[in-house]
């Protein structure tokens, strides 16, 4: 199997030297992803909306790699402020309630002050339903 590197076009990827996602065999590793609209480099103000947009960016990367949210086996969530978990949790629940990946939520500062949420996932390809 060939290793594939995928990019979202985010300027952060080139500046820092990473891929949005790496596919290696039946595995897909999606880097920490925020809710930026990478075409306009704008970010919503609320943590809940950032979580929703970050998940959309994650889902787009998974789709480009030939995976879907249903393939996610591990998720890591970073919220910049502890009080934001209450706005983020329902968004995550909508996306992952039936999938139930192993998950961790961390409270930590992110790269820029406007970044409130970052999501990283690992997926393993499963047979189509």
Taking residues 59-81, what's their average pLDDT?
Answer: 96
- So what's the pLDDT on residue 88? 97
Q: What confidence tens digit (pLDDT) does each residue in 114-126 have?
A: 999 999 999 999 8
- So what's the pLDDT on residue 129? 65
- So what's the pLDDT on residue 121? 98
Taking residues 10-32, what's their average pLDDT?
Answer: 88
Domains of the chain by start residue, with CATH = 3-124 (3.30.1330.40)
- Per the CB < 8 A criterion, the answer to whether 60 and 119 are in contact is no
Q: Report CA-CA distances (Å) from 28 to 1, 48, 55, 56, 66.
A: 13, 25, 15, 16, 9
Name the more confident of 13 and 34. Answer: 34
- So what's the pLDDT on residue 28? 97
Strand bridging mode 117-124 / 102-107: unpaired
Tell me the HSE value of 7 on the side-chain side, using a 13 A CA sphere: 11
């Amino acid at each position: 199997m060939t290793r594939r590197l995928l990019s979202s076009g985010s300027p952060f990827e080139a500046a820092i030297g990473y891929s949005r996602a790496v596919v290696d065999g039946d595995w897909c590793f999606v880097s920490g992803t925020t809710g930026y609209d990478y075409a306009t480099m704008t970010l919503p103000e609320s943590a809940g909306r950032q979580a929703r947009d970050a998940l959309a960016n994650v889902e787009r990367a998974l789709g480009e790699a030939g995976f879907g949210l249903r393939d996610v086996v591990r998720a890591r969530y970073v919220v910049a402020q502890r009080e934001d978990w209450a706005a983020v949790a329902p968004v995550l629940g909508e996306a992952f309630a039936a999938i139930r990946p192993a998950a961790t939520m961390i409270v930590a500062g992110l790269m820029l002050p406007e970044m409130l949420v970052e999501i990283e996932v690992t997926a393993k390809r499963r047979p189509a339903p």
